């Protein structure tokens, strides 16, 4: 089945492009355009009072969509920001110790890797990294204050097993467990109901949620990190917080809010979520479609010299080998969009692709070798 009609604007904008990088920059569906226009129209019509609608309607709707997707019992535990890095520094600022011990995998995304390395360089944290498959055992073997790991790693596509076992180690006084779900959210069915009271979860709309940049979120379990040191005035945006005296905080996920932000991403996110509901498209259904496309590509085996290193949970194929850069360059010159991480070629799948697109990708690879 084809879902190209849901992406007519993006596909018609570059008709010669073959886009297989949905894991990097997912094409925006037509519904996101309607969401962007709605944000503009609210700003024009309501001006200063647009924030009443954003906080009373737009944010609660987005929270409900995310809570339903992740089986979170309370949508109010969810906060929004323009990027996940904001949440990383706010979580770290809430740790009560001077030099926390931090455990992470050795394959985390650049925002965490760069920031944690700089903190370690400055002596602000003690950083320990291990291969993903050793993370759960390492977390149980030694005391740590913060444990950070991706649900699905961005470079290899390997999935973290044992989120529940990591969450079982979590305590309000430490360790805190933070799961980076950017390559898991809406790429693989995720049920956080068993860990919602213990583990943080952060992700965003740029990839599989199809909503573009500027709409990242954090699920923050109650009793963990009640007073982040890095904070903005929206974190006290209720009457109870105002009565605390000193620097007050909202009692729910809003304690992680910053200050004035661009809300258009939330409008796009909500519009896309409504589109998916109207079309009857769940994460499981989309994954089934993409898995069939992945299987078709693998069956054709156009790159036998590259090794498949990604797991089945990833919405992309990670193919490793010395020829990966040359393959990427050849495809790029032919108008085929993939992406490259060192010697790993990543090919991402989405519902705006069909079998003919996969066949065209295979044909382009074969043509580049003649």
What are the angstrom distances between the C-alpha of 314 and each of 3, 168, 328, 342? Answer: 20, 25, 20, 18
Q: Are residues 118 and 15 in the same domain?
A: no
| Whole-angstrom distance, CA of residue 34 vs CA of residue 50 | 17
Q: Are residues 188 and 213 in the same domain?
A: yes
Joined together, the tokens standing for residue 80 give 């929004």
Please identify, among 250, 276, 302, the residue that sits at the C-terminal boundary of a domain. 276
- Local structure of 43: helix, strand or coil: helix
| Whole-angstrom distance, CA of residue 233 vs CA of residue 165 | 35
| Sequence-separated contacts (24+) of 192-196 with Cβ below 8 Å | 192/70, 192/71, 192/72, 192/219, 193/71, 193/72, 193/73, 194/164, 194/167, 195/163, 195/164, 195/167, 196/71, 196/72, 196/73, 196/74, 196/77, 196/221
| Whole-angstrom distance, CA of residue 346 vs CA of residue 207 | 14
- The set of residues, in sequence order, having a beta carbon less than 8 Å from that of 3 and lying 6+ positions away, is 279, 281, 289, 351, 352
Question: What integer pLDDT is reported at residue 246 of this predicted model?
Answer: 80
Q: Are residues 193 and 308 in the same domain?
A: no
- H or E stretch including 126? strand 126-130
Q: Are residues 49 and 187 in the same domain?
A: yes
| Whole-angstrom distance, CA of residue 161 vs CA of residue 137 | 11
Q: Are residues 85 and 13 in the same domain?
A: no
Provide the residue range defining the domain that includes 324: 4-30+281-368
Mark the ranges of the chain whose per-residue pLDDT is less than 50.
Answer: 240-241
Angle of CA points 190, 39, 90, to nearest 5°: 50
Cis (ω within 30 of 0) for the bond into 312? no
Question: What integer pLDDT is reported at residue 223 of this predicted model?
Answer: 93
Q: Are residues 179 and 66 in the same domain?
A: yes
Contact 294/346 with Cβ under 8 angstroms? Answer: no
Question: What integer pLDDT is reported at residue 243 of this predicted model?
Answer: 58
Q: Are residues 131 and 227 in the same domain?
A: yes
CATH number at residue 330: 3.90.1150.10
Contact 227/248 with Cβ under 8 angstroms? Answer: no
Joined together, the tokens standing for residue 331 give 């495809």
Question: What integer pLDDT is reported at residue 370 of this predicted model?
Answer: 67
CATH number at residue 253: 3.40.640.10
Please identify, among 276, 297, 313, the residue that sits at the C-terminal boundary of a domain. 276
Q: How many domains does the chain have?
A: 2
Joined together, the tokens standing for residue 105 give 């995998």
Q: Are residues 248 and 323 in the same domain?
A: no
DSSP label at residue 56: I
Q: Are residues 100 and 184 in the same domain?
A: yes
Please identify, among 231, 246, 276, the residue that sits at the C-terminal boundary of a domain. 276
CA atoms within 13 A on the CB side of 4: 12
Q: Are residues 161 and 268 in the same domain?
A: yes
Task: Report the relative pairing of strands 336-337 and 18-19 from DSSP bridges.
Answer: parallel
Q: Are residues 134 and 105 in the same domain?
A: yes
Q: H helices within 23-160, ranges in order?
A: 30-46, 50-53, 59-70, 84-94, 110-121, 135-141
Question: What integer pLDDT is reported at residue 241 of this predicted model?
Answer: 47
CB atoms within 10 A of CB 44: 9
Length of the chain equals: 370
Q: Are residues 299 and 347 in the same domain?
A: yes
């Amino acid at each position: 089945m084809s879902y190209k009609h849901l992406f007519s604007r993006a596909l018609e904008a570059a008709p010669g492009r073959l886009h297989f990088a949905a894991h990097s920059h997912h094409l925006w569906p037509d519904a996101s355009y309607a969401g962007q226009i709605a944000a503009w129209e609210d700003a024009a019509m309501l001006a200063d009072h647009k924030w009443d609608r954003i906080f009373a309607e737009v944010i609660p709707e987005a929270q409900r969509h995310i809570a339903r997707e992740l089986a979170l019992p309370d949508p109010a535990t969810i906060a929004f920001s323009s990027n996940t890095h904001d949440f990383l520094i706010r979580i770290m600022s809430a740790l009560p110790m001077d030099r926390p011990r931090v455990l992470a995998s050795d394959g985390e995304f650049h925002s965490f890797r760069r920031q944690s390395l700089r903190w370690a360089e400055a002596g602000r944290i003690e950083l320990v990294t291990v291969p993903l498959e050793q993370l759960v055992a390492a977390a149980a073997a030694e005391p740590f204050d913060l444990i950070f790991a991706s649900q699905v790693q961005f470079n290899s596509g390997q999935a973290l097993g044992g989120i529940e076992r990591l969450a079982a180690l979590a305590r309000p006084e430490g360790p805190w467990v933070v799961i980076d779900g950017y390559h898991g959210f809406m790429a693989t069915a995720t049920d956080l109901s068993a860990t919602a009271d213990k583990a943080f979860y952060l992700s965003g709309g740029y990839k599989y949620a199809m909503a573009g940049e500027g709409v990242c979120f954090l699920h923050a379990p109650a009793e963990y990190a009640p007073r982040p040191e890095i904070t903005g005035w929206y974190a006290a945006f209720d009457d109870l917080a105002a009565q605390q005296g000193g620097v007050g905080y909202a009692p729910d996920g809003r304690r992680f809010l910053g200050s004035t932000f661009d809300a258009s991403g939330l409008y796009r996110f909500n519009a896309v979520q409504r589109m998916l509901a109207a079309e009857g498209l769940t994460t499981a259904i989309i994954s089934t479609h993409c898995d069939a496309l992945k299987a078709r590509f693998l069956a054709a085996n156009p790159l036998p010299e590259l090794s498949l290193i990604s797991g089945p949970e990833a919405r992309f194929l990670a193919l490793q080998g010395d020829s990966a850069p040359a393959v990427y360059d050849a495809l790029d010159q032919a108008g085929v969009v993939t992406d490259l991480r060192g010697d790993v070629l990543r090919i991402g799948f989405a519902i705006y692709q069909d079998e003919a697109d996969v066949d065209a990708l295979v044909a382009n690879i074969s043509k580049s070798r003649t």
